[in-house]
Structure 1
Amino acid sequence: MKLKSILLFSFMLLGLKTYCQKFERPFILVKASDRSVILDKIQTKSWAKKIHENLKIKTDIEVNKFNRNPKAYLKKLPFNWSETSNNSFPPFYKTDHVEKGKHRNLDNATDKEWKPAALLIKYLQIALDCGTMYYITQDEKYAYMASSILYSFVKSVQKSKLSDWHGRGGWLFPYDGFREVRVIGYKVPLIYDFIATYLKKGSNAFDIVQNQKVSFPIDELQNVCRTYADITINYGQTGSNHSVLEAPNLVYNALAMDDEEEREKLLSYFLTENTKNQDALPIMAKNYKNQGDIWPETSQYLNHSTEILAKLLLVINKYNPSLKLGAKYPNILFALPRLDDLVYPNNEIIRWGDGHRRQHGSYQAYENAYVLAKMDSLKYLQDKFAPLLKNALDKGKYSRKNIEALFWYDDAIYGESNKIKLPRTDRVYHAGIVLQRNVSSTGNAKDGLMGFVGGAHMVHGHAEGMNIELYGEGQVLGVDHGRKKYGKDLHENYSRIYAAHNTVIVNGSSQGEGGWVNLGINSVELIAMEPKVGGKGVSPYHSFSQTSFKDDKGEKAEAIQERTLGLIRTSPTTGYYVDVFRSKSDLPNEYHDYLYHNIGDKLIFDNKDLVFEKTPNRYMANANKKWVHNKQYRNPGWHFFKDVQTSKTYKKDVVATFHTKKLKGNSVFMQLHIPGFLNRTYTKVKAPITFEAPKPYHKLPTPTLVVRKKGEAWENPFVVVYEPYHKKEKPTIQSVAKLEQDGVYKGLEIVSKTPKEQLTQYVITQSKNQVFQNDEIYFKGSYAVISLDKNKTLKSIYVGEGEEIRFKKKIFEIDRKTNSLYIDFSK
């Protein structure tokens, strides 16, 4: 460490030490000096009164049970009496999970295995509630019960030996110390902080072994807190959300130290000092380099991580306002509502990796950020969170229920309750995601259109290739499979590898390699998009993205790929998607499989001459390949497909429809138009269930289409037009024909009949800087849509990315700055 850094750190510690001397406990979540303000809130604010009343009611029930027979009450803790000697405290039962003879973390632990831990967590929470009530009321009956539970914990936990699994495991979870500090370790210092004044004046706790009141051993409590802090400092992993998830344990146990110098040193491991097992705040904050950056994992982890960090910034800022952590790390706060920008019109989240479909931002976290922004005079952040909070409070989406609200919040949220408008396009950079949405002028979520292309490597990411999801008629129809329990065959050998995604598998061998649990893939890269992120867009009816991907993990794919996804609205209630996927391998005898999963009952083909035969062994080559947990997989995972039926080689155009008729209140359909090419075979299968799909499809197989192309799929790529519609309307698309030049695919002629008009649209989709030319059209660029009315009169021209466009010899000038254009000739 350089001298300048040492001096800076020393001054920081000196400032913290000087500040710490100004007040007594409690001071972790709330200060002793805040009590009068809190009592006033309880008297004057209905929401505060309700929080207090609810806490008092549930706590008094437990206090009454305890007072009737303290020994009997405390003996229900999960003590292992078989391992105790006379007149000594027994240890607790340990919580462990074993699969196939090996100790595993507790992700998949059974209820029976979890029972001792669950009971212990319950008792510690009761003690914490009692401590909180003592702080508010100063009634020693609450402190006595809290101290008795805490005393039993301190005495018993020290009877266990710290596990040395992975260098330093837990006391009670010997093979999952990471979880122990998250569910147990952080509670202990909070209990102590609330009742410290009671303990230090010589008050008692109940000892179940001696069957009498005894003095509380504060020095032993300090050792327990010190040890829990040490577990975080010296156990775990860096470069992931583990450091964030363990941080509350580190911060709270550091603040529990009565020795100021030790407190400051332990707290420095969160504020400044990295270890090989724990990232400090400056390292974690690098993930929020730019305004709008989010934690680089999947949805449930990214939001949770940011919420934890924002809360800790507030806790430490309240402890020492001179640190001004909100002003120092504003982008952490700015990231909190980011996930709610990534929602479909039905408010479900786009899904990538292990992410969930319904994991939204926390209004409590927003209010924490608002309080911190107010402390540090960050008006632009106050202005960001005020409308979100006001909207939620006004609409009943949010009510203050947690105890921190009583400590930290008031009614003074200044700002307007504005309607939140989401951008037309967006990106999740670490996930390679490029998103398009088109909200209907009807305001009905069922009329909205939205889709995305994405794929990248990250912790909890999937080896998914260049994947898409598509929305229509109020549902995510073209779905990503999602995930359920970690470590299971389905998760490791399907959910998080290629076959569970709407992608292209090359030579039957696309896979992840390297990186986190050997699932490393390259990132999807953006070639072009319109509108740009946050931009208005040149057309209200069109958008597009063009992306690329390199499938070069393992040794048998060796492919480059390019995907163009166009969104075209044809009326307030209708529209369609154009998906063009190019793929070619460097290897001989190449073949490519295009996969599309859609929730539904069945997939029906209109082509009567397209005959399917059962082919049960088509995808079974790797079904029994060696599988090593978190290391080696049965790629690409399509051996999970059931009821596999395949056609002969078929070169004609194909029309097929996914029927989804069991949704509550509506039947919806997704119709596919697939232009014909040589060397194509079609397979329909039943893929595993889609997790978090709407009922009843969360328990039903997922109908899936697989299109195989022998040879390259670049000059003549996979091309599919997707149109969602519901049972009360007909599909608008009447015909789809490919546009070719010298035997090479260039685009489509799509004829559709909307509720108000008939359209002919030429959709040109080619690689950047390529040229398409016929008798009427000249276009140099990636993406354009030329729309004609029923009389074949020019209605509009849209260029998403291009350099030059002519129609019937008339040249239309493209904006040289944006390379885009839209002209509506009907106005």
Structure 2
Amino acid sequence: MNSFAKNIVVLLLVLNSVVGVSQNLQRPFIWVKQEEKGQVLKKIETQPWANSFYKEFKQRVDGDILLYKKSPGEFLNKIPFDWSKQKADSTPPLKRFENSVNENNTDRSLQNKFLQIGIDCGVMYFLTEDKTYAQCAVDILHAFVEGLIQIQPSTEKGNGGWLYPTDHLREARIIGAQLPIIYDFVATYIDKNRKAFSIGSQKNTNFSVENAQKVFETYAQLAVEHGHTGSNWSVLESFSLVQNALALNDESLRKKYLDFYLVKGTEQQDALPDVAHKYKNDGDVYPETSQYSNGVAEFTTRMLILLDRYNPDLKLGQKYYKIPFSLDRWNSIRYPNGEIIRFGDGHRHFETPYDAYDMAYLLGKKEGITKLTTKFGPLVTEGIQSKKYDRATVGKRSGGISPYFTPLQLLWLEDIKESYDVNQTTLPRTDQFTHAGVFLQRNLSSTKNPEDGLMCFVGGGQMVHGHASGMDMELYGLGQVLGVDNGRGAYRTDLHENYSRLFAAHNTVVVNGASQGEGDWVNLGINRTQLVAMEPKPLETAVSPNYSFTRTNFLDDRGDKAEATQERTLALVRTSPTTGYYVDVFRSKSAMPNEYHDYLYHNIGDELQFLNKDLTLKPDENRFQENANVKYVYNKNYKNPGWHFFKKVASSEVYSKDVNATFEISKLQDKKNRFMHLYILGNKEREYTKVMAPHTFEAPKPYDKLPTPTMVIRQKGEAWSNPFAVIYEPSFDEKSDNGIQTVEKLETAGLFKGFKVVSKIKGQKIIQYIISQGTNEIFESKELKLSFIGSFAIITLNESGELNNIYVGDGQYIHFDKHILKPKQPTDRSFYVEF
């Protein structure tokens, strides 16, 4: 049998199993089945967390029931209706929302709240058989069904909805996903008692199951026909699609819409296999930024449980376990202070999703997926033991843009009976997120103090919710992210569209004033940063306890005026448990005539000071204003590269000497002064500028509201043979008494080859020669008695000139004084030797 025939057989088996199981089901069955009630009640009786959850949950619902019983009319009247369009004695149409941008809209929140009340009442009816809960849920459902059925849904294929004519993406989560759950819990009650209170006539009327079925099919159809593929949209809309499909009583219709999720999507909707295709290896993530990527995994994990409960023969958890397996992946990119690296629209703060871990563990337990139970059992246990996660807490009803999941905690979860070792996993020295072109390095201190940890990354790449960042970097030190990416604020604002998303908001190089995104996601597409060399390689063991490095390259060829090739070497050098520095070597050259390159670096703080007394800066407010008046067209044309937002611009004349500079940070809440010291190797045709860039989102207070001091170095002509070469040293000392003392250039025939760094560590001087050159290039110095073939190495001496250690991050041979060293294996290119 050929592969095509095999696929057809498998497909038929899946479809037949879906139909077969559904024919024997009685409602409720979407979240929980009637025969499971005894198990849930026993759990409430015997498991303390479940008992506490139930009491809090019941108390919350009973508060609504008191208001409902007092006056159903007054209670339901708080649902936002469009009373101006009411027909005599009938339920008026629900209020529509043409503009969905304002997330604090009271009417929208009320609609969301009443649907959640309806679900809660349905759950309480399931557990208690108290008809008051059922009737309240039915009355809410009736109000929404009759209020919707009078409205014509949007026919716009992109993001057209029903109550949200231009935002089905939002509506699918906060309305479409909730209605079918209410119905599923009270369907048997409706069959016996078709009465519902009518807000229009202020008396009981017949509940129309036919209208309810039309609403469910319409929402399922909206999900199928609206949105777009290749992003998280399909997953965000999936609970509306699937739960409405399951609410349909017509078996053929139910199968039709489930197929769009289980088997094959549409031009506007990815099916589950399309989403799963992004997870090729254990640990892969959905290729977007942090909260969006993890949201895909969280939503899909719950969906796998839901559908496998509906039809155990599907075994979706076993087939697609790599999706929940990714849920803890974002923890691996945490800085020592608990924040995460930032790229694209990702947030700085990332709350550990223990509730999603719990669902992943549940899926693994139910389906015998050891990879899930062994990974998430310890994580959930650690969360419970540390009191970071409390299953017993119900909390307030969600006002966010998400399907309502709260009762699933009570209905689905069970005690974890296994004993797990909850010792925290040691984070790797290096890691990668290739979809974002991200390659990170960390070096945690033996002091275990986050202020002594070091971490950095280089990144840049096209993705949904990505930014046109170029080859970006961030630097961490002294307990804070110091060298920062701007992040993102409110969508669709001028600042977000024409700064945060563009090159100027990032620590990168702008070429010819013209670097930009083009094509791909909302015309912000850029090439992906590519790895050339790295030590240690991602997730592998380091050869040295103190050193690591990455070399990456990037093609800046979007638009037609940059046309640049770039290469960046970023190294992390620890000199003691409390000190260290970063080495940044950025090469850039353009194919365009009259090229020039601007190196940008943003650091939180009060101000940037250039310390060279003969480096004079003068006001230069027009320097970055050339593109300020370019026409902006939403999601199409931007004011690239975005640096027209820079204020207080002051520039030097051409200055060729080495430059020392300092960013001062004095306003943090712990009252400790911090400094980022810069040692910049000079070059001909260089100009230096300092500016105040817009505030950095999610920076530590008060710097989240203050302008961000930023340095710009302009190189007229190519910046390849003599690249931007900067050493960054975070320090609590203004004068750097315990750290770097001097930095000099290593060069051959006028070409940059690296640095000589002299530091004082606890009163002892150390000398480090850092070589950074092209792959397999040769550096020779008779004066230093040094010969090296390779791209990156560090030689460390004590103050007497005696050799302490040699680190080769990428190379094939080094000869220093009397020592000749090579890798042990011909295929190796890195090693470390102490003397």
Cα distance between partner residues in 2 of 1:299 and 1:34: 36
For residues 559-579 of structure 1, the C-alpha deviation after alignment (integer angstroms, 9 at most, x for no partner) is 100000000000000000000
Q: Match for residue 88 of structure 2?
A: 86
User: Counterparts of 1:178 and 1:821 in 2: how far apart (Å)?
Assistant: 52
Q: Distance in 2 between matches of 1:798 and 1:535?
A: 17
Aligned pair partner of 1:684 in 687, 690, 694: 690
- Match of residue 61 from structure 2: 59
Q: Which amino acid aligns with 1:748?
A: F
Residue 615 of structure 1 deviates from its aligned partner by: 0.4
After the TM superposition, which of the residue ranges 413-422 and 146-155 deviates more from structure 2?
A: 413-422
Partner of 1:30: 32
| Amino acid paired to 2:810 | E
Name the structure 1 match of 2:474. 469
Question: Per-residue deviation at 1:305?
Answer: 1.1
* Alignment partner of 1:459 out of 437, 461, 464: 464
Distance in 2, Cα, partners of 1:88 & 1:5: 51
Other-structure match for 1:740:
747
Contact 2:157–2:225, Cα closer than 8 Å, also in 1: no
Matched, 1:639 2:644: yes
- The answer to whether the aligner puts 1:490 opposite 2:495 as a matched pair is yes
User: Corresponding residue for 1:100?
Assistant: none
Matched, 1:799 2:803: no
SS at match of 2:712: strand
**Pairing 1:14-163 to 2, within 5 Å after superposition:** 14-97=16-99, 106=100, 108-109=101-102, 111=104, 114-163=105-154
- Deviation digits for residues 312-365 of structure 1, max 9, x if unmatched? 011111111221111101211111100011110001010000110012341111
Instruction: Give 1:22 shift.
Output: 3.7
Distance in 1 separating the partners of 2:59 and 2:92? 32
- Aligned ranges 1:135-284 → 2 under 5 Å: 135-166=126-157, 169-284=160-275
Residue 267 (structure 2) pairs with residue 285 (structure 1): no
SS of match in other structure, 1:165: coil
CA distances 1:416-473 after superposition (whole Å, capped 9, x unpaired)? 2122211100000100000000000111011000000000011110001000000000
Q: Tell me which moved more, 371-380 or 338-347.
A: 371-380
Task: Give the length in aligned residue pairs.
Answer: 814
Residue 540 (structure 2) aligns with? 535
Q: Report what 1:714 is aligned to.
A: 720
Q: Is the 8 A contact 1:340 1:360 kept in 2?
A: no
Q: Distance in 1 between matches of 2:254 and 2:832?
A: 63
Change in Cα spacing, 1:795 to 1:4, as seen in structure 2 (3 Å) is closer
Give 1:85 shift: 2.3
- Give the match for residue 507 of structure 1: 512
Distance 1:127 1:403 in 2: 12
SS of the residue corresponding to residue 607 of structure 1 reads coil
- Residue 399 of structure 2 aligns with which residue? none
2:777 pairs, out of 752, 762, 770, with: 770
Task: Give the secondary-structure state (helix, strand or coil) at the position aligned to 2:157.
Answer: helix
Instruction: Please say if residues 160 and 167 of structure 2, whose CA atoms lie closer than 8 Å, have aligned partners that are also in contact.
Output: yes
Amino acid at match of 1:326: G
Identity among equivalent pairs (%): 50
Give 2:660's aligned amino acid. Answer: V
Equivalent of 1:371 in 362, 365, 371: 362
Rounded Cα–Cα distance in structure 1 between residues aligned with 2:727 and 2:733? 19
- Whole-angstrom distance in 2 between the partners of 1:380 and 1:291: 10
Q: Where does residue 103 of structure 1 map in the other structure?
A: none
| Counterparts of 2:567 and 2:159, CA distance in 1 | 46
Tell me the SS of whatever aligns to 1:746.
strand
**Cα distance in structure 1, aligned partners of 2:88 and 2:248:** 32
Q: CA offsets per residue over residues 783-820 of structure 1, 9 Å max, x none?
A: 10000011110000000010111101421122333310
Unaligned runs of 5+ in 2: 394-405
Spell out the pairing of 1:389-408 with structure 2 (5 A cutoff). Answer: 389-400=380-391, 401=393, 402-408=406-412
User: Any runs of at least 4 consecutive aligned residues in structure 1 with deviations exceeding 6 A, and if so which?
Assistant: none
Cα distance in structure 2, aligned partners of 1:756 and 1:19 = 76
Equivalent AA in structure 1 for residue 681 of structure 2 = P
Q: Structure 1 residues 524, 317: closer, same or farther in 2, change over 3 A?
A: same
Q: Structure 2 counterpart of 1:754, which letter?
A: I
| 1:736, distance to aligned residue in structure 2 (A) | 0.2
Whether the aligned pair in 2 keeps the contact of 1:650 and 1:680 (CA below 8 Å) is: yes
**Distance in 1 between the 2:328 and 2:737 partners?**
38
SS in 2 for 1:512: coil
Task: Tell me the alpha carbon deviations over residues 638-690 of structure 1, each in whole angstroms, 9 at most, x when there is no partner.
Answer: 01000000011111111111000001112211000001111111000000000
Q: Could you list the per-position Cα deviations for residues 256-309 of structure 1 after superposition, in whole angstroms to 9, with x for gaps in the alignment? A: 112233222211111112111101000110110111110101111001111101
Matched to 2:806, the amino acid is I
State yes or no: 1:339 paired with 2:335. no
Once residues 408 and 634 of structure 2 are traced to their aligned partners in structure 1, the CA distance between those partners, rounded to angstroms, is 40
Could you tell me how far apart the structure 2 residues matched to 1:531 and 1:52 are? 50
Work out the CA distance in 2 between the residues paired with 1:188 and 1:756: 70
Counterpart residue number, 2:790: 781
Q: Does 1:607 align with 2:612?
A: yes
Note the alpha carbon deviations across 1:131-164, whole angstroms, 9 max, x for none: 1111111111000001001001101111111112
Q: Give distance in 2, aligned partners of 1:810 and 1:737.
A: 24
Report deviation, 1:767.
Answer: 1.6
Task: Give the Cα separation in 2 of the matches to 1:806 and 1:3.
Answer: 63
TM-score, normalised by the number of residues in structure 2 = 0.96
Deviation of 1:756 (Å): 5.5
Residue type at the aligned position of 2:379: L
Alignment match, 2:594: 589
8 A contact 1:336–1:361 mirrored in 2 = no
* Corresponding residue for residue 400 of structure 2: none
- Structure 2 distance, partners of 1:490, 1:196, is 49
Quote how far apart the aligned CAs of 1:395 are.
Answer: 0.7
Distance change >3 Å, CA 110–CA 326, structure 1 → 2: closer
Cα distance in 2 between the residues matched to 1:136 and 1:287 = 39
What RMSD, in angstroms, separates the aligned Cα atoms of the two structures?
1.4
Residue 692 of structure 1 and its aligned partner are, at CA, apart by 0.2
Distance 1:730 1:23, change over 3 A: farther
Query: How far apart in 1 are the matches of 2:78 and 2:805?
Result: 75
Q: CA deviation at 1:782?
A: 1.1
Q: 1:229: how far off?
A: 0.5
1:387 to 372, 378, 381: 378
Q: Distance in 1 between matches of 2:499 and 2:18?
A: 51
**Secondary structure at the residue paired with 1:152?**
helix
1:824 aligns with 2:817: no
**For 1:246, what is the secondary structure of its paired residue?**
helix
Asked if structure 2 preserves the Cα contact closer than 8 Å seen for 1:651 and 1:679, the reply is: yes
Report the Cα distance in structure 2 between the residues aligned to 1:468 and 1:87, rounded to whole angstroms.
Answer: 63
| C-alpha distance in 2 between matches for 1:166 and 1:268 | 20
Q: Determine the structure 2 residue equivalent to 1:306.
A: 297
- Measure the CA separation in 2 of the matches of 1:420 and 1:168: 42
Cα distance in 2 between the residues matched to 1:727 and 1:780: 37
User: 152-161 or 684-693, which moves further after superposition?
Assistant: 152-161
Q: Does the 8 Å contact 2:450/2:479 carry over to 1?
A: yes
Shift of 1:721: 0.2
* Aligned residue type for 1:214: T
Instruction: Check whether the contact 1:523–1:549 (CA below 8 A) recurs between aligned residues.
Output: yes
| TM-superposition CA deviations, 1:515-567 (whole Å, max 9, x none) | 11111110000000000111110000000000000111111111100000000
Counterpart of 1:295, as a letter, is Y
